[in-house]
């Protein structure tokens, strides 16, 4: 379960996130959507404490973020960084297993788990596990980022535009894979996206933001049948394609 209570963030004068509150129950998929600069990444980063809120409270599974050590806190939260964020001097295998290394997992375990995860994200282990990130396409790098976040099987996953660089076919198979992971393992998954179709397809709860605020939150049905205001109406008209 992820819960935000009146969370705000100021960067100097810029009120980037304004009094955001929402709750995502355990095992649910949530999608945060909105135009560039509306505060999506900042909201995500406040959940895993890469950014500290200016005010308000963040809870995961009933525990308050501010009561815990940030390093420990991040261990239970898988984070997929916008633009993959792989370490350039490490191979694909080393990138995926970085957290397992820190935890001193056995090499055999790491090998097996990396192979398993590369299958999940549809990457050929033999061919690319010893390459470096720059030797991969953008979409492949993005999938490595997803595998890395899954390595230690965290109960909560935060994903910042994880499918953005993928072609439509790969994106669809990743959607299915995530839907299955969520159904099978009961993970709580919060995804940032620009894509309203993706949000409606994947999410139990869609959170639409504008200028740092939540404009509307709910299911596809809530949005299409009861758009909260003109902004929601025009956002849907612009971003929803057949
Ligand atoms: N570290 C920072 N220091 C100062 N301002 C920041 C910082 N990070 C983000 N901002 C500002 O906060 C606002 C929200 O940024 P954020 O990265 O959360 O947007 P976003 O919704 O993720 O956008 P995008 O879709 O382009 O990724 C923007 O005005 C941005 O310029
Ligand atoms: Mg962003």
From the centroid of its chain, how far is CA 202? 12
16 lines ligand 1 (CB under 6 A): yes
193 lines ligand 1 (CB under 6 A): no
**pLDDT tens by residue, 75-120:** 889 999 888 789 999 999 999 999 899 889 999 999 999 999 999 8
Decide: 188 in ligand 1 pocket, CB within 6 A.
no
Q: Is 42 in the pocket of ligand 1 (CB under 6 A)?
A: yes
User: What gap in Å lies between CA 195 and CA 218, rounded to an integer?
Assistant: 16
Whole-number Å distance, alpha carbon 136 to ligand 1 midpoint, is: 27
Q: Pick the residue whose CA is nearest to atom 20 on ligand 1.
A: 37
d(CA 242, CA 232): 18
57 vs 44: CA distance, rounded Å: 13
40 C-beta closer than 6 A to ligand 1: yes
Q: 204, 28 in Cβ contact below 8 A?
A: yes
The residues facing 31 across adjacent strands are 191, 206
CATH of domain 1-76+157-242: 3.40.50.300
Is it the case that residue 189 has pLDDT exceeding 80?
yes
- Structural element, H or E, at residue 168: helix 168-185
Buried b (16+ CB within 10 A) or exposed e, 99-124: bbeeeebeeeebeebbeebbebbebe
What is the pLDDT at residue 134?
A: 95
Stretch 37-52: mean pLDDT:
96
Domain map of the chain by residue range?
1-76+157-242, 85-153
Region 207-217: what's the mean pLDDT? 97
Enumerate residues 6+ apart whose C-beta is below 8 A from 25. 1, 188
**Mean pLDDT for the stretch of residues 39-67:** 95
Q: Is the CB of 14 under 6 A from ligand 1?
A: yes
Query: Is the distance from CB of 20 to CB of 8 less than 8 angstroms?
Result: yes
> 111 C-alpha vs ligand 2 centroid, how far in Å?
32
Q: What is the pLDDT of residue 46?
A: 97
Q: Which ligand is nearest to the CA of 209?
A: 1
Structure confidence at residue 181 (pLDDT): 77
What is the mean predicted confidence (pLDDT) over 223-234?
Answer: 96
As a whole number, the mean pLDDT across the chain is 93
- Residue 164 is predicted with a pLDDT of 84
pLDDT at 242 over 70: no
Answering whether pTM is above 0.85, one says yes
- Distance (Å, rounded) from C-alpha 148 to C-alpha 91? 12
User: In Å, how far are 47, 54, 57, 66, 72 from 63, measured between CA atoms?
Assistant: 12, 19, 10, 9, 12
Higher pLDDT, 129 or 179: 129
Please give the average per-residue pLDDT across 122-139, as a whole number. Answer: 95
17 lines ligand 1 (CB under 6 A): no
Query: What is the CA(61)–ligand 2 centre distance, in A?
Result: 25
* pLDDT of res. 81: 87
Average pLDDT over residues 204-213: 97
Ligand 2 center from residue 18 Cα (angstroms): 16
Q: Average pLDDT, stretch 121-140? A: 94
């Amino acid at each position: 379960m992820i819960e935000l209570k009146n969370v705000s963030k100021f960067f100097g004068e810029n009120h980037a996130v304004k009094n955001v509150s929402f709750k995502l129950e355990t095992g649910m998929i949530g999608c945060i959507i909105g135009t560039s600069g509306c505060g999506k990444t900042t909201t995500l980063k406040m959940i895993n404490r890469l950014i500290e809120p200016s005010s308000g409270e963040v809870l995961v599974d009933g525990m308050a973020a501010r009561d815990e050590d940030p390093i420990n806190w991040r261990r239970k939260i898988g984070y997929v960084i916008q633009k993959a964020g792989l370490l350039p001097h490490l191979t694909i295998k080393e990138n995926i297993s970085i957290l397992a290394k820190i935890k001193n997992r056995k090499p055999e375990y790491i090998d097996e788990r990396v192979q398993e995860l590369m299958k999940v994200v549809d990457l050929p282990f033999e061919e690319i596990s010893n390459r470096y990130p720059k030797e991969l396409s953008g979409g492949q790098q993005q999938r490595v980022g997803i595998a890395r976040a899954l390595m230690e099987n965290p109960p909560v996953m935060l994903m910042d535009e994880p499918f953005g660089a993928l072609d439509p076919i790969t994106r669809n198979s990743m959607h299915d894979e995530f839907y299955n992971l969520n159904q099978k393992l009961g993970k709580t998954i919060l995804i940032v996206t620009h894509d309203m179709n993706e949000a409606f397809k994947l999410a139990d709860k869609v959170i639409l933001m504008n200028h740092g605020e939540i404009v509307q939150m709910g299911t596809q049905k809530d949005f299409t049948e009861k758009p909260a205001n003109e902004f929601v109406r025009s956002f849907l008209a612009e971003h929803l394609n057949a």
